[in-house]
Structure 1
């Protein structure tokens, strides 16, 4: 059977050379945000009902404001978060300033809020980078208003929503028939389902390490274990609060949530509970990998000490004999014997062979 490849950890992100970022940043909503400037903002709008769908990529944020007055269900997706753009959208859709500050924040804990006529969800969207075996987390904000869902995300080049876009383009799907609250459920469900995709990749790395440790219990293997442990810890700490978010949605009595949609949020809640349990299990597996590594190192050390002990034991009688005949006394009869040297060598060889035979018979090596 072919050997599985080693974990790819380039020098650029070697766990021994690069300090890991803080897992959670504390950034109160009232604090001035220090978000990095965005080169460009991409705004995509889906306006749809059961019979038709309209998809547009807006040249700027101002162009999407005309959709605030239509009766169709709308999904406004903003890729790239800039304060001026967020302020324009929030002012037009009557979104509370506190929610606007949450959207502009970074490193926030997953949460759910209800202010004015809006329902707000903030949670992590997780990706796995295969070339570095690392977990990357992007904060996404979802705002539910009347007949509209507005999503804000940082990275304009990737997300996990392409299956939703395909379902919107195809007629006859449940997503096209139901309202904006069902669209919110679909977005949350897609984000949570992607957690399992990331955990599948992490599980593969754990399996690879389980095969590597017995063969290569060295410092580089220990580095891989520690790197994976940190990634697993960051992932678990990020998704754990999503359970509270979904619990808040299920208990909400907001008029924007249709009673028929509550069962779908319960399904997402079950998924995030399962994801948290699986993440905890994977964390325990990574800790077991550390114990396996130390056990392998101890076994390797014991084997070395065993060989050294056997060699020392075999040489001990010979050392005693050579020490005795190395004394400078005048009266030592064997020193004058013409065959004394060969007799002593024979006795030493006999003792050496006898000890090896006894050790092998007792199974000591």
Structure 2
């Protein structure tokens, strides 16, 4: 069993290794591309798997990924990545490496990718309390900052959801291939099944959290719209009360001598009383209709 890990090697040095192990030229091109969706291809004597590993996380859900390519043969494993891989580094320094390599290249590759899945799982589980807090304080905490945070979380969850859907399909196809072509290798099938179940859980968790974030955004917008409607209703009621009062004040504020009530000794009190009756009546009508 031979494991060759390629990191920041020259193209010529890489090519010598790939040629010696008869790696397909198109898979080499895919492995060297800066960004490529996770994929899997099978050949007569080897399988090619391309995954994306979580290499750095920041505050919240923001994350960076590293493309990791694996060429899995009958007695060899070649891994290629441009920058340091936390999962690969952890296994290179592990005391369990020799025993793991004795179980075969597929088991070794499954163990590496299982470490990748655990990093994604930790990222999602660390975010779960924040999502629960958003959910619990939705009614009491509102504002543009909360909405921006939720939209940012939904954006990163969309990326995780898309990424894990790729990983889920890749490992499902790998598991199917193992059962069909290497059904007697129970150890490899068991190891790949564990990783497939982990990526399947990550896919479902990402989709669940994505839907929850979307529901929280919709709820936040609905509450904001409701509060705005309540404010507009109050302003409309106030406007409806003062429109007839303003009309009367404007009518009797005109500078004409032939206004009949102008020279009445109690005209002012009659007008103020009539305006008070109008305002009181409108307030009573609005309260009866539960507009106030």
State if a TM-score over 0.5 links the two structures: yes
Give how far 1:311 is off.
1.0
Say whether 1:293 aligns with 2:220. Answer: yes
Deviations 1:166-217 (A, max 9, x none): 6x3159x963652332112211222223332232345455445544686333
Q: Which residue of 2 aligns with 1:79?
A: 7
Query: Take 1:132 and 1:86, find their aligned partners in 2: how far apart are those partners?
Result: 37
Offset of residue 320 of structure 1:
3.2
Structure-1 residue corresponding to 2:170: 245
Number of residue pairs matched by the alignment:
289
Deviation digits for residues 213-232 of structure 1, max 9, x if unmatched?
863333x5444343333322
Is 1:197 matched up with 2:125?
A: no
* Aligned equivalent of 2:246: 319
Cross-structure match for 2:211 = 284
Q: Which of the pair is proportionally richer in helix?
A: 2
Q: Which runs of 5+ in 1 are unaligned?
A: 1-72
How many angstroms apart in 1 are the aligned matches of 2:103 and 2:226? 62
TM-score by length of 2: 0.81
Q: 1:217 aligns with which of 139, 143, 160?
A: 143
Distance in 1, Cα, partners of 2:147 & 2:259: 59
CA RMSD of aligned residues (A): 3.2
1:99 is matched with: 27
- Return the alpha-carbon distance in structure 1 between the equivalents of residues 172 and 34 of structure 2: 23
Give the 5 Å matches for 1:14-25: none
Q: Does 1:88 align with 2:9?
A: no
TM-score by length of 1: 0.67
Residue 341 of structure 1 corresponds to 268
- Equivalent-residue separation in structure 2 for 1:266 and 1:215 (angstroms): 43
Q: 2:38 maps to what in 1?
A: 110
Which residue number in structure 1 is paired with residue 100 of structure 2?
175
- Verify: 1:266 aligned to 2:193, yes or no: yes
Gaps of 5+ in 2: none
- Give the Cα separation in 1 of the matches to 2:108 and 2:183: 12
1:240-278 Cα shifts (integer Å, max 9, x gaps): 122232222223355698333212222222222222222
**1:85 and 1:212 mapped to 2: Cα distance?**
56
